[in-house]
């Protein structure tokens, strides 16, 4: 008898495929999720073990090796003609028989293809050949994988409880360091640069909070902008190298006011041609008072999830003196966990937080507790089909009382 659950998934795949053909938002992500459900319904335990514990770890190891040898870049540059595996092996200094075995597995994992005696790039491998993705592979393999592998030993050691400090978690055990995650990244270059590339890559190709249909930028930010209150339309706090703000400026041409990018000095120093950027890039520590007063909005993309409730509250507290009551908005672009329908994107990021920063992703109730505890109030939570992240819009809970005469 056919697997009835699989049959139901196949029906959903067909209807979702039609939605994808017609460009319906979220349909691509739904197809991927349904495909995972289909595999889970069909796969037997031995196949699950082979894929999860052999095939996928081996693939990640091969991709890490490919970064050092620029294999994906060479295949990308070869174009549709592809490359002879023996000639490529000789060029990069790898034994031909070993090289063929490694590449054969990447073909089996659909990262590459093989035909007419040659290895060929794919759309996926060409994307992974870009510098940010190459550095992301380095970060994920060198930093995150050891932490995940250390979960069993770490949690056994601490009695199977969640971390409560910034420097005693799976990451600290894996790297034998007392330093918190970000301090260790800064102290061990080029990890902080690789992390910045990872964050840029993590966001690439996904819906942005300022896209049409996600958050109403024109109605909520641009309309009502008042330069007499503050010259900045938008301040991106902890915004990396400006990936979000460059896209915001391109998508909302003719916007009033300034766009300000803030991050650590080391990250800001990586931005090329600062004067030609559509934003003002400045170094700022978000544990100190916000220096840009009276901006229309302050955006924090995946910032508070890096910190526990106490530190998250401090970050929000340092924004408050800069906020104009009834005018300034705080925009938190964050995952809002669902207990009923958790997504792989949300739970895998929660595991990233557990493994490296000893913190967590939060439910809506948890977010409201932190935001309201910092003296702000949630105006609305905006969601978009297929996006793991939501946009939480907040403002000062109440206007500052006028001084008594």
Active site residues: 305
Q: How far is CA 401 from CA 196, 275, 325, 397, in A?
A: 41, 41, 10, 12
What distance in Å separates the CA atoms of residue 231 and residue 225, rounded to the nearest whole number? 9
Q: How far apart are the first and last CA of the chain?
A: 83
What distance in Å separates the CA atoms of residue 160 and residue 347, rounded to the nearest whole number? 19
By C-alpha distance, which of 249, 327, 334, 331 is closest to 295? 327
Structure tokens given for 320:
């408050």
What is the β-pairing status of strands 329-337 and 297-301? parallel
Reported as half-sphere exposure (CB side, CA atoms, 13 A), residue 203 has a value of 22
Check: CB of residue 217 under 8 Å from CB of residue 278: no
The sign one gets for the Cα dihedral 64, 272, 288, 252 is negative
By C-alpha distance, which of 250, 282, 280 is closest to 267? 282
User: What is the full DSSP assignment across 118-136?
Assistant: EEE--HHHHHHTSHHHHHH
Q: Among all chains, which residue has been given the structure tokens 């971390």?
A: 163
Structure tokens given for 161:
């409880």
What distance in Å separates the CA atoms of residue 281 and residue 240, rounded to the nearest whole number? 10
Q: What are the start-end ranges of the H helices in 151-269?
A: 151-157, 170-175, 181-187, 191-203, 217, 243-251, 265-268
Check: CB of residue 215 under 8 Å from CB of residue 391: yes
What distance in Å separates the CA atoms of residue 319 and residue 310, rounded to the nearest whole number? 15
- Give the phi and the psi of residue 114 in degrees, each rounded to 5: -135, 125
Check: CB of residue 381 under 8 Å from CB of residue 364: yes
What are the start-end ranges of the E strands in 313-375? 329-337, 362-363
- Give the phi and the psi of residue 337 in degrees, each rounded to 5: -65, 140
The one-character DSSP state at 278 is: S
């Amino acid at each position: 008898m056919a697997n009835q659950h699989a049959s139901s998934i196949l029906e959903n795949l067909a209807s979702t495929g039609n939605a994808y053909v017609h460009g319906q938002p979220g349909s691509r992500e739904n197809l991927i999720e349904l495909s995972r459900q289909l595999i889970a319904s069909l796969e037997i335990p031995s196949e699950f073990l082979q894929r999860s514990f052999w095939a996928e770890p081996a693939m990640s190891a091969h991709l890490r090796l490919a970064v050092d040898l620029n294999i994906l870049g060479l295949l990308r540059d070869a174009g549709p003609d592809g490359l002879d595996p023996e000639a490529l092996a000789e060029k990069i200094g790898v034994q031909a028989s070993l090289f063929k075995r490694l590449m054969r597995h990447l073909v089996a994992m659909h990262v590459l293809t093989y035909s007419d005696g040659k290895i060929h790039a794919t759309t996926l491998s060409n994307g992974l050949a870009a510098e940010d993705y190459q550095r992301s592979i380095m970060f994920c393999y060198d930093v995150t994988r050891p932490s995940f592998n250390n979960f069993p030993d770490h949690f056994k050691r601490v009695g199977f409880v969640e971390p409560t400090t910034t420097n005693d978690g799976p990451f600290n055990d894996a790297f034998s360091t007392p330093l918190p995650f970000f301090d260790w990244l800064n102290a061990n270059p080029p990890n902080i640069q690789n992390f910045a590339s990872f964050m840029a890559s993590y966001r690439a190709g996904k819906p942005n909070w300022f896209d049409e249909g996600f958050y109403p930028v024109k109605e909520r930010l641009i309309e009502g902008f008042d330069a007499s209150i503050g010259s900045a339309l938008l301040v991106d706090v902890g915004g990396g190298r400006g990936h979000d703000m460059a896209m915001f400026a391109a998508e909302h041409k003719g916007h009033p006011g300034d766009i300000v990018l803030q991050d650590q000095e080391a990250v800001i120093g990586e931005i090329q041609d600062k004067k030609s950027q559509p934003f003002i890039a400045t170094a700022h520590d978000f544990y100190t008072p916000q220096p840009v007063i009276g901006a229309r909005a302050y955006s924090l993309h995946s910032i508070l999830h890096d910190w526990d409730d106490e530190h998250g509250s401090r970050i929000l507290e340092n924004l408050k003196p800069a906020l104009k009551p009834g005018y300034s908005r705080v925009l938190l672009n964050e995952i809002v966990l669902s207990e009923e329908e958790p997504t792989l994107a949300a739970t895998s990021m929660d595991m990233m937080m557990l493994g490296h920063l000893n913190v967590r992703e939060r439910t809506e109730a948890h977010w409201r507790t932190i935001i309201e505890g910092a003296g702000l109030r949630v105006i609305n939570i905006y969601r978009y089909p297929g996006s793991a992240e939501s946009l939480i819009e907040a403002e000062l809970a109440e206007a500052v009382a006028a001084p008594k005469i």
